[in-house]
Structure 1
């Protein structure tokens, strides 16, 4: 029997869209014959994923799993919201989040990680595609951890335990009371879900975002006839306002707009009995950044009528 090489497995994956372990099994069963392996996968229903891989998957679910000082968030997309309400799909997303919490916190590592019940995460997704008949993709994974403290979580528009449309994780470093940390952590996570900050503080805002805002402020000041020697002062003042809008620690706290998030966390130290440092956050909103296909139904009908 011909030796099964990595390049053979890769070639079969590219032509069928099936999972790595399924491709290896197919090649083993067919003695390394690529064409026969394709047929083997088709008979098993595992090659269907390839035909659906080009379809836009912008629905689905985000899932979270947290335990003490660690937490993860994943996004698994499907083509329709109908599939996202399917028990099988929900179980898939929940299991993937659990695998990520177990240590597979990089996307490719998570895809290759062992899935409960056998095979890899990638193979489990391919099997679900073949069963359900829709394209599905594991789009991203994020993880937070602190040495001492907690990772709090919040799900907006939750559809089931650990599953929803917006997932937020917040890492708080502290030796304080766990219950008090969980309370302020959840409040901050809800705040993040509502305001979608672009960074933890002013220094965390991407440089290109700051420069773009700086250019806009300068142009507005210049257009209003302000002299060049005062434009820089106007820009710096405007940037301070901008950071209060987009930097988490500077934002007005949604639960008490009279104080900033940083002030709210500082005040929570009394209940916690120790200093608290808000180290990081993750916010996954389902489908953000994915270009959804749009169709003109009237135009489609007219086109069909013209062909009739």
Structure 2
């Protein structure tokens, strides 16, 4: 005999089971998209959930809406915060074969400078700088160095995001809630026989994984080439890093010229005059005004005449001669330094 009562109960169980399964699947899909949206955009849990609810769990529409909202909010915050001082920030260095860029982006606090979103912005500025000028280096056998102002950088377009750097900056301000500014950049490219070394000084151990940009408070780019074989192994990457470290630490303002014999004579003369002065002080007690002015001078801003930072027993010029290397150009950045 067919039991209608059992049939009814079984039907309800099936319906309940199907409804529970569907709800469970929907819940998992929402959680999955919520995690994906947060990871992709970096926005808060609440904002991502709001976006997904608004567009019925459509990931693409939710992402577009979030960025539009952040852009609107960013413009408002940028206007509101524009007069607040920005004493912190980062120098970013990006090298790609024989091209490189170094940029400075400022913010209000060191806390934000360590934020992933801010560092991503620095990496974007460095990448856009290279992409904007690399056509000048194609089939070009000459050394190219182009300094770029913050005003010009803001106008440059990111082909990756189809937005200007100013729009990306505003988006970052909206996310960070703190004033920020793209201050300056330099683009460097060299012919095939000229290496580009780089060094960044920082306590930060992070690097923008997407753009391969490294960050710090100080940075240096140095272009150099081999002029002769000195009969020993030469590692241009390591040598360029050591030169960059010297540039950051010793702050040279020019390359200068180095003459072995002249430098030896100058050093000997300096030592002799110091001995004479010491002797005079001990015998006749002459005054500072009565002493003759020194006839020699050493320009400590010329890189080749400076004591090498990593080995003060040699001058940079001596090191270059020993390695068979010539410095072509260099650039040094210090975050927050006064600009001419």
TM over 0.5: same fold?
Answer: yes
Which residue is 1:150 aligned to? Answer: 195
Pairs within 5 Å for 1:1-308: 44-45=72-73, 46-104=75-133, 106-107=148-149, 108-115=151-158, 116-147=160-191, 148-159=193-204, 160-161=206-207, 162-174=214-226, 180-201=235-256, 224-226=289-291, 231=293, 234=294, 236-237=295-296, 240-241=297-298, 243=299, 245-269=300-324, 276-289=325-338
CA separation in 1, counterparts of 2:127 and 2:71? 31
Q: Secondary structure at the match of 2:161?
A: coil
Question: Contact 1:168–1:281 at 8 Å: present in 2 too?
Answer: yes
Q: Which has the larger radius of gyration?
A: 2
2:255–2:302 contact (8 Å) kept in structure 1: yes
Deviation, 1:117, is 1.5
Could you say if the C-alpha distance between residues 43 and 90 of structure 1 is closer, same or farther in structure 2, counting changes exceeding 3 Å? Answer: closer
Q: 2:13 — aligned with what?
A: none
TM-score of the superposition, structure 1-length normalised?
0.64
* Alignment deviations for residues 180-205 of structure 1 (CA, whole Å, 9 cap, x no partner): 222221111111111112222279xx
Please give the per-residue CA displacement for 1:171-223, whole angstroms capped at 9, x wherever unaligned.
Answer: 113477996222221111111111112222279xxxxxxxxxxxxxxxxxx97
Q: How many residues align?
A: 217
Can you list the C-alpha shifts for 1:145-172, whole angstroms capped at 9, x where unaligned? Answer: 3222111101111522211111111111
- Look up the match of 2:211: none
Alignment CA distance shift 1:76-1:225 (3 Å): same
Offset from partner CA, 1:258-307 (integer Å, 9 cap, x none): 211121122122xxxxxx320111111111228xxxxxxxxxxxxxxxxx
Distance 1:97 1:83 in 2: 18
Q: CA deviation at 1:109?
A: 3.6
> What runs of 5+ residues in structure 2 fail to find an aligned partner?
1-67, 134-145, 208-213, 259-286
Q: Output the CA distance in 2 between the equivalents of 1:143 and 1:201.
A: 22
Judge conservation of contact 1:61–1:75 (CA < 8 Å) in 2.
yes
Q: Is the 8 A contact 1:168 1:189 kept in 2?
A: yes
Distance 2:321 2:130 in 1: 29
For 2:270, the equivalent position in structure 1 comes to: none
Counterpart Cα distance in 2 of 1:128 and 1:265 = 43
